[in-house]
Amino acid sequence: MIRLNVFISVNEGNRDELIDVASKLTKASQTDKGCIAYDIFASATRQGVLMICETWQDEASLAAHEAAPHFITLVPRLKALSEGMKTEKFTF
């Protein structure tokens, strides 16, 4: 399995819009084949930081997700709204 933790730095001025886009991405991604879990969290210790936590069955599932229309349209919007994004990938 594959776990991605995507950390997103949020500007308070567009926080609501960014959370809306991230929520749409989360909802659509949860229906992708091979998605074990896909959730968004707000940090309780670092204001202005969100995390999307994804678990995928395998590399093929992750690749299909990254080619899906919702990913292709919503991830660039997240990047544009954020002050930066960092992804950490784990396999288990």
How many percent of the chain have pLDDT more than 90?
97
Domain tally, the chain? 1
Taking alpha carbons only, the member of 9, 11, 21, 12 closest to residue 70 is 21
| Confidence band for 38, pLDDT divided at 50, 70 and 90 | very high
| Residue 60: pLDDT over 90 | yes
CATH of residue 65: 3.30.70.100
C-alpha span between 29 and 42 (Å, rounded): 18
pLDDT of residue 85: 97
pLDDT of residue 55: 98
| Residue 23: pLDDT over 90 | yes
C-alpha span between 66 and 19 (Å, rounded): 20
Domain span including residue 53: 2-91
**More confident site: 5 or 47:** 5
pLDDT of residue 12: 87
